């Protein structure tokens, strides 16, 4: 019996192998016979294609591949086609010229298992529901007027963080930067969405939330074999989907609790509704699209996770680079002392005058983009780019990290040099999606909805931390570890821990009532 089972298994395995080889050959033959030329790229393996070639740091691997195969590169990923854009011109071709053709997301395990089966804003198809989610988010949380309305929330929550850091300095305790930032940002977002600080004290609960956010961003960034070979997705060979399902349950419990508590306190907010109140009151648009409770829960998941993790990772990278380059930190201090002085905290109205701080932020966006590979898109129709044929249903990845490290685009790209943005051709480059040399938030219709908020948070929080404290590495740490940990958001592999010393008058560290 055992030998028979073994024989059947081998026959089934051989049949599956032959099936995929046949499909691959027929697909390739069709492209050749039609006279259409695919972009160059690595050949990959039978059946699974280029998946094993990507390794643990796909953004680095793909950047190295682009040096050999060019700015538009084709990879066979299991049974799917994928193209990678690796230069500003190639990114512009896909995200601007062909934007409407690449406005949808491909189906994947992250959308299914984490984002309530793509019921959110990040993974939803381009259409009426996505537009409604995006409109409500822009009008009442992420857009310019909304950001102005909630400025006091950011100021007050930052006051809590500064006070805690001030107390740590008096006790000679090191500050673990990502924990501190995630705690503060989750509370900022919580006050806008729910009219409450979601974590009253920094402790086990807030650290668990941070760990959950990092796990979500990490697992959603994996190249999951089941996404590219759907017929074997049920096997979950990497264990990614089972982990996603467990994490989703934890988030769902947290979000359900938040929404129930919010509903119970609705009577307190009649004079000043928060974001969730507004969304609940405007769940339907003029074309009859109505948001379900699942849509709203999925939207909150987007806002809490992306809103905390992406901005905090950028700030952590910026502080790390300044600790490695003390002259940059010193120059930032000098600018702030001249513009603001040391008798008060930095205010958001000071930011336009802090030209060097803005250059530091742009240089961090360039060298350490929070999203190294843009969230994947998929072609609705076949098209042509740079003379190459791009089939229908081809997945698109833009290597934002690779563009930022390209020596043909940037002089000495591995150096952290904010001066590159102060004069010359780069002086007017802006990270909001129009200058394709610097697109940390993506570009086109599916540009990150929180672009404006992300830039404000990074400039304001980073500026406040730099202005308020002198920063020093722990005793004995001479070479700061700058290794990356790949995910949807590019984390530091070793979290930044540092000692701070107050630079301002003691009254600047008092929490506002």
CA–CA separation, 503 and 332 (whole Å): 13
CA–CA separation, 453 and 451 (whole Å): 6
Contact 310, 454 (CB under 8 A): yes
Determine phi and psi for 47, rounding to 5 degrees: 70, -60
Tokens representing 205? 């609960």
The partner residues of 104 in beta bridges, in order of sequence, read 378
Q: Is 448 annotated as a binding residue?
A: yes
- What is the β-pairing status of strands 377-378 and 491-492? unpaired
- Residue of 431, 436, 471 lying closest to 451 (CA atoms): 431
Tokens representing 62? 């793909």
Contact 156, 197 (CB under 8 A): no
Contact 169, 229 (CB under 8 A): no
Contact 89, 403 (CB under 8 A): no
Tokens representing 394? 């081809």
Give CA angle at 351 (348, 353), nearest 5°.
140
Three-state DSSP class for residue 143: coil
Contact 456, 138 (CB under 8 A): no
Give CA angle at 318 (122, 503), nearest 5°.
125
- Residue of 451, 370, 375 lying closest to 404 (CA atoms): 370
- Residue of 449, 311, 307 lying closest to 368 (CA atoms): 311
CA–CA separation, 465 and 462 (whole Å): 5
Secondary structure element (H or E) that encloses residue 502, with its range: strand 497-502
Annotated binding residues? 448
Residues of each annotated binding site for heme: 448
């Amino acid at each position: 019996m055992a030998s028979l089972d073994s024989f059947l298994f081998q026959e089934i395995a051989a049949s599956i192998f032959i099936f995929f080889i046949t499909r691959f050959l027929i697909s390739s033959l069709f492209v050749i016979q039609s006279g259409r030329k695919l972009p160059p790229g690595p050949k990959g393996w039978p059946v699974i294609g280029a998946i094993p070639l990507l390794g643990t740091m796909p953004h680095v691997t793909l950047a190295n591949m682009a040096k050999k195969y060019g700015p538009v590169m084709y990879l066979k990923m299991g049974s799917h086609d994928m193209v990678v854009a690796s230069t500003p011109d190639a990114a512009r071709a896909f995200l601007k010229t062909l934007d409407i053709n690449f406005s949808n997301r491909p189906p994947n395990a992250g959308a299914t298992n984490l984002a309530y089966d793509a019921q959110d804003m990040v993974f939803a198809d381009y259409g009426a529901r996505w537009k409604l989610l995006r409109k409500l988010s822009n009008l009442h949380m992420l857009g310019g007027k909304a950001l102005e309305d909630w400025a006091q929330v950011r100021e007050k929550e930052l006051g809590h963080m500064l006070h805690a850091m001030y107390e740590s300095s008096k006790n000679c305790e090191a500050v673990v930067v990502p924990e501190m930032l995630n705690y503060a940002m989750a509370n900022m977002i919580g006050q806008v969405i729910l009219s409450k600080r979601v974590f009253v004290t920094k402790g086990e609960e807030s650290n668990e939330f941070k760990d959950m956010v990092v796990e979500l961003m990490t697992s959603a960034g994996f190249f999951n074999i089941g996404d590219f070979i759907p017929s074997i997705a049920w096997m979950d060979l990497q264990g990614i989907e089972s982990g996603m399902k467990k994490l989703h349950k934890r988030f769902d419990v947290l979000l359900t609790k938040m929404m129930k508590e919010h509903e119970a306190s609705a009577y307190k907010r009649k004079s000043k509704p928060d974001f969730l109140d507004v969304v609940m009151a405007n769940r339907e648009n003029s074309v009859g699209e109505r948001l379900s409770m699942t849509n709203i829960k999925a939207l909150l998941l987007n806002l809490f996770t992306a809103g905390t993790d992406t901005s905090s990772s950028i700030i952590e990278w910026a502080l790390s680079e300044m600790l490695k380059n003390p002259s940059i930190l010193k120059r930032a201090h000098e600018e702030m002392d001249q513009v603001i002085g040391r008798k008060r905290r930095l205010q958001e109205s000071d930011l336009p005058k802090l030209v060097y701080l803005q250059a530091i932020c742009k240089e961090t966006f360039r060298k350490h983009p929070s999203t190294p590979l843009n969230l994947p898109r998929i072609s609705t129709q076949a098209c042509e780019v740079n003379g190459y044929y791009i089939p229908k249903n081809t997945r698109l990845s833009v290597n934002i990290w690779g563009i930022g490290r390209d020596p043909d685009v940037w002089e000495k790209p591995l150096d952290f040099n904010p001066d590159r943005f102060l004069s010359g051709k780069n002086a007017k480059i802006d990270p909001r999606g129009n200058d394709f040399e610097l697109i940390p938030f993506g570009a086109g219709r599916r540009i990150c909805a929180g672009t404006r908020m992300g830039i404000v948070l990074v400039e304001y929080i980073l500026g406040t931390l730099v202005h308020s404290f002198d920063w020093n590495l722990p005793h004995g740490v001479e070479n700061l570890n700058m290794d990356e940990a790949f995910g949807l958001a590019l984390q530091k592999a070793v979290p930044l821990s540092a000692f701070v010393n107050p630079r301002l008058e003691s009254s600047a560290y008092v929490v506002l009532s």
